[in-house]
Structure 1
């Protein structure tokens, strides 16, 4: 990591560059994840990272989690091949404590053990924008936003007709193709995007020789109709059908993951139907919506064989949100929500519901200061009421210095599996967390340079873990039960750098130090949390020549970590780098290519599971406007 900083320092001095983190001063960047309404980034006191479509295409990234792995405070692990179970942890929180939203739909899986979202099947085909909010934010988002929020937004149609498409081929006989069209005419707007990915993959078992393939086809769509100025209908949909080979066997001699003929399938359907009514020239905005997330998962022992696991998760939400500006410097955001969820694992069925009300007050006492405070109450059918608070402040001085501070609380309701399965415990309390962070951001060189530093502190209580049975309960629960047994702490620093002295050259870099600690009473007290490297860093650089050729590269470094709670199995740190290039042909076409892990580094993110070595890909891109 020290070598990385020497390199980064030299790069910052020798090649300052433009970064997508430096928005055009004439068009201030808007952020929606902090309060669930659009705000200028300068008014948000929480830590949010934004990745736009230009960055996705510049990086030539197929898998969304690969992008997230290069953002501050985020670590990613994957169980081997592309499409395998992929976990995203924010600031050292559990992966199940990350709330994921796609076009306004909460997509965490009610049928999974911890209610988390599997990022393995999330492709970049239709993604227009990603906002990553770090830290608990339960006031606007409710349960599961205990570690942070990943908000995925697909393309919003604009006036006229636009179309884009790309196709690429590469390592492991991989084929990736996507295409989309969008447009707006009068009161009607719409978009439709489809994607397909197939790959022979790699062996998910690090010791294996059999490739584990992956296939997905999917689509997203939007339809909007304005019945009158400010009053309209919004429909959004997402569908994905995925299949991945799984190595879930174990070598009888070494007891490590081994080749297996097993495979799994997943079908995801997410939908949003809403009405909006905006009055008084945008001073009183209203939205009512119904959303649905339906996820079906099946695992098979072998092709044509028996089903070894099924998961049926479904959640439905009814919500109202109002955005009221009684004064120019005062904004009130409030809402009411009802969520019903259910799951079925083939052995047990359960459902539950939660009713929520929240309110936020956003005040600008002076032009340079924005203060936000909020409260939320959630009434859960199975464990009663929970109230959470949050507050943040942003002070944007005219010297280019912005100070930010926030306090946020989060809670995560026990999942249906944790409550009602054969291992469930209906007396569980929700997991809770509180986080505060302070940061400063400075722009230099006429807005062509930006550096930011954020310190955070997070404490988690009542974390739900699986434990062995005790005493008399072993009669009914001989294999164990879920219980509130864990506590955890995390402290850290996030540093970001973006430079732009000339438009042709771009450079962004970030570094995160995250110190996690298990505070659970027992043998693991004081240990590092599993699979949480203390240090991560990433740097991206791109240059575009006058004749159009663009070249770039990414270097990511991840420090040492432990694979287990007992800290007995170490995962060595690693550094991987990739290079890329793109050449336009006329105004509508471009050819591109990249080489990932260009040094063919050998590494693991989970003990026993394989990772990709050097891999090359090439493709063509089409854009019509």
Structure 2
């Protein structure tokens, strides 16, 4: 183990000494004109900035970023009491590739575990929270698979094509976002193109990707459409297998906006994907060894929203109707019929949020929504649930400080009422130093599967968490150096675990011969996040992100009490640097990610080794309309699994072109 770690560090040191790197300049990249945030509303913390002609930054200094993740209304990122990372379209172009986990690696506190190659199931851990405890939004729509046991989102089905912006809020924030926001919130926004953008890419393992975006953006209206296709022959999902398991996905989406008056506009978004993932299983005759099979899964995903935005004077309102649906079908060509089983989950949501600017820099945000979910499967008849919610946030956004506190009440058709509280603050103590702190509560409603499936338990109550963090940020007077440090802790209780009923016929196992779900778990995650971004000149960009996360089972009396939670490496370091050469604007760079070992199981008996991933990248612009780019992923061909028994992706080379008009 120590030899492996020394080898990893040796690779990183050699690369640092010899190769220009490429950055993920999270909150500091200058976005393209289409991605530039809209003018800030009153009360956003931006109205005290000087006019544009007095505040023009150097080309390498970022404009102020705006987010809605902190309070539900638009707010400057540097006024939020919670840590928020932002990646723009330029960051995504610089990172390159068809695997979205490579993008998420550029955010502190994020780790992942996947079941094989690209397209295989991929779960995200944010500050040690389960993937199902992280809320994921596409264009403001919750897109979790409500038919899955934990009702999480499979990040293996997400590609960067058509995405314009990524925002990640780290820490519990259910007071604004409701169920599932225990570990944090991840939000992506699709592209509103003004013109045409197209790209094609190919490379190792039969990988090909093509993306097309086109749109028109005017003062009174805008519309855009995006489409893409990704395919790869892949690798064997089973580490012991020899047959590659491929992935193929079609994607189409669109968005539009029209201003009916100066104060009122209508907006619509939609996204649809169809994917096919080859999977491995447990073949005959023993059905006990994970190995090559001919099975595959088809996944159909739809999400969309129709809404209205009103803004006049001190009042801002947003309302709409959203729909999200996921259907999963698993096939085995060796059987008749070949359809083994299937699941379908649907979520509908009606919402209204608003913000009022009060005198003396005070603000009042409020909102309410009603969600209807349903699921069915080959083994379970259709089940339904309703969740009605309302929240109110009162805050103050002054010239050098901001404070807010909020309360939320949820009413569920099965478990009843749940109340959530949160508060945070930020203060600029000098022109260069900002302090922030937050307290947030999170909850996750039991899923339809946990309530109503063959294994269901209708006595379940929500999982809950209390989250604390504090941080400090430094920005140099010229804006070229930014440093940040955050400490945090999250205590979770009432965690829902699967309970085996083998040999037990009484108590909770009555009439459940196989097992059921119960609120029996507790856990604690605490850690440190360090961030550094440096632009010594306009030709260099450097970043380093370090996370220490200790996630531990704290269930009293449990056999695994005190053990580390599975598949959570405690130490993760990501460094990125890129350099613009004098050769026709050629940009060369690399990313290096180091992570420590972790455990694959709750008993901490099977260790997953430490590892490193290094990517070399280059891009060459031809005017303002064409880029040619290439990269080598996993340069040192490191094979460290994120889930035991599953295959890992080795070295690969890729190249492509991107056209803008």
How has the CA–CA distance of structure 1 residues 156 and 621 changed in structure 2, closer, same or farther, with 3 Å as cutoff?
A: closer
Q: 1:344-394: per-residue Cα shift (whole Å, max 9, x none)?
A: 012222000011000111203x42110011110000010010000011111
Look up the SS of the partner of 1:249 in the other structure: coil
Q: Distance in 2 between matches of 1:99 and 1:164?
A: 30
Moved more, 369-378 or 586-595: 586-595
Q: Distance in 1 between matches of 2:22 and 2:412?
A: 50
Q: Distance in 1 between matches of 2:341 and 2:622?
A: 49
Equivalent positions of 1:527-538 (< 5 A) are 527-538=563-574
Q: Distance in 1 between matches of 2:449 and 2:263?
A: 42
How has the CA–CA distance of structure 1 residues 447 and 8 changed in structure 2, closer, same or farther, with 3 Å as cutoff?
A: farther
Question: 1:539 corresponds to which residue?
Answer: 575
- Are the counterparts in 1 of residues 20 and 588 from structure 2 also a CA contact under 8 Å? no
Look up the SS of the partner of 1:258 in the other structure: coil
Q: Distance in 1 between matches of 2:297 and 2:287?
A: 25
- Are the counterparts in 2 of residues 167 and 620 from structure 1 also a CA contact under 8 Å? yes
Q: Is structure 2 residue 493 aligned with structure 1 residue 457?
A: no
Deviation at 1:275, TM superposition (A): 1.2
Question: 2:331 corresponds to which residue?
Answer: 300
Question: 2:80 corresponds to which residue?
Answer: 44
Q: Is structure 2 residue 631 aligned with structure 1 residue 594?
A: yes
1:478 aligned residue (503, 513, 516)? 513
Deviation at 1:173, TM superposition (A): 1.1
- Are the counterparts in 1 of residues 552 and 562 from structure 2 also a CA contact under 8 Å? yes
Deviation at 1:451, TM superposition (A): 1.0
1:371 aligned residue (403, 409, 422)? 403
Q: Is structure 2 residue 371 aligned with structure 1 residue 335?
A: no
Q: Distance in 2 between matches of 1:413 and 1:66?
A: 30
Equivalent positions of 1:1-40 (< 5 A) are 19-22=25-28, 26=56, 27-40=63-76
- Are the counterparts in 1 of residues 355 and 364 from structure 2 also a CA contact under 8 Å? yes
Question: 1:604 corresponds to which residue?
Answer: 641
Question: 2:39 corresponds to which residue?
Answer: none
Question: 1:103 corresponds to which residue?
Answer: 139
Q: Distance in 1 between matches of 2:218 and 2:21?
A: 42
How has the CA–CA distance of structure 1 residues 568 and 155 changed in structure 2, closer, same or farther, with 3 Å as cutoff?
A: same
Moved more, 22-31 or 316-325: 22-31
How has the CA–CA distance of structure 1 residues 528 and 617 changed in structure 2, closer, same or farther, with 3 Å as cutoff?
A: same
- Are the counterparts in 1 of residues 98 and 230 from structure 2 also a CA contact under 8 Å? no
Equivalent positions of 1:35-434 (< 5 A) are 35-156=71-192, 161-249=194-282, 255-280=288-313, 283-302=314-333, 305-327=337-359, 329-348=361-380, 349-364=382-397, 366-434=398-466
How has the CA–CA distance of structure 1 residues 251 and 493 changed in structure 2, closer, same or farther, with 3 Å as cutoff?
A: farther
Moved more, 518-527 or 312-321: 518-527
Q: Distance in 2 between matches of 1:155 and 1:272?
A: 15
- Are the counterparts in 1 of residues 22 and 590 from structure 2 also a CA contact under 8 Å? no
Q: Distance in 1 between matches of 2:573 and 2:249?
A: 31
Look up the SS of the partner of 2:78 in the other structure: helix
Q: Distance in 1 between matches of 2:10 and 2:259?
A: 52
Q: Distance in 1 between matches of 2:339 and 2:286?
A: 27
Deviation at 1:483, TM superposition (A): 0.4
- Are the counterparts in 2 of residues 251 and 258 from structure 1 also a CA contact under 8 Å? no
Deviation at 1:453, TM superposition (A): 0.7
2:619 aligned residue (571, 579, 582)? 582
Deviation at 1:47, TM superposition (A): 1.3
Q: Distance in 1 between matches of 2:21 and 2:500?
A: 55
Q: Which runs of 5+ in 1 are unaligned?
A: none
Q: Is structure 2 residue 480 aligned with structure 1 residue 448?
A: yes
How has the CA–CA distance of structure 1 residues 202 and 9 changed in structure 2, closer, same or farther, with 3 Å as cutoff?
A: closer
Q: Distance in 2 between matches of 1:221 and 1:605?
A: 34
Moved more, 322-331 or 354-363: 322-331
- Are the counterparts in 2 of residues 17 and 500 from structure 1 also a CA contact under 8 Å? no
What is the RMSD computed on CA atoms of the aligned residues? 2.2
- Are the counterparts in 2 of residues 319 and 338 from structure 1 also a CA contact under 8 Å? yes
How has the CA–CA distance of structure 1 residues 506 and 358 changed in structure 2, closer, same or farther, with 3 Å as cutoff?
A: same
Question: 2:44 corresponds to which residue?
Answer: none
Look up the SS of the partner of 1:419 in the other structure: helix
Moved more, 246-255 or 328-337: 246-255
- Are the counterparts in 1 of residues 21 and 590 from structure 2 also a CA contact under 8 Å? no
- Are the counterparts in 2 of residues 256 and 608 from structure 1 also a CA contact under 8 Å? no
- Are the counterparts in 1 of residues 495 and 520 from structure 2 also a CA contact under 8 Å? yes
Look up the SS of the partner of 2:506 in the other structure: helix
- Are the counterparts in 2 of residues 407 and 435 from structure 1 also a CA contact under 8 Å? yes
Deviation at 1:398, TM superposition (A): 3.6
Look up the SS of the partner of 2:478 in the other structure: coil
- Are the counterparts in 2 of residues 42 and 396 from structure 1 also a CA contact under 8 Å? no
Moved more, 301-310 or 138-147: 301-310
Q: More strand by proportion, 1 or 2?
A: 1
- Are the counterparts in 1 of residues 22 and 589 from structure 2 also a CA contact under 8 Å? no
Deviation at 1:254, TM superposition (A): 11
TM-score of the superposed pair, with normalisation by structure 1: 0.95
Q: 1:57-85: per-residue Cα shift (whole Å, max 9, x none)?
A: 00113222221133211111110021010
Q: Distance in 2 between matches of 1:73 and 1:406?
A: 17
Moved more, 467-476 or 283-292: 467-476
Q: Distance in 2 between matches of 1:251 and 1:372?
A: 59
Deviation at 1:183, TM superposition (A): 1.5
Q: Is structure 2 residue 654 aligned with structure 1 residue 617?
A: yes
How has the CA–CA distance of structure 1 residues 99 and 9 changed in structure 2, closer, same or farther, with 3 Å as cutoff?
A: farther
Q: Distance in 2 between matches of 1:563 and 1:29?
A: 38
- Are the counterparts in 2 of residues 70 and 538 from structure 1 also a CA contact under 8 Å? yes
Deviation at 1:486, TM superposition (A): 0.6
Deviation at 1:249, TM superposition (A): 2.1
Q: Distance in 2 between matches of 1:613 and 1:584?
A: 29
Q: 1:394-442: per-residue Cα shift (whole Å, max 9, x none)?
A: 1123431111100000000000000000100000010000100001011
Moved more, 443-452 or 100-109: 443-452
Deviation at 1:137, TM superposition (A): 0.5
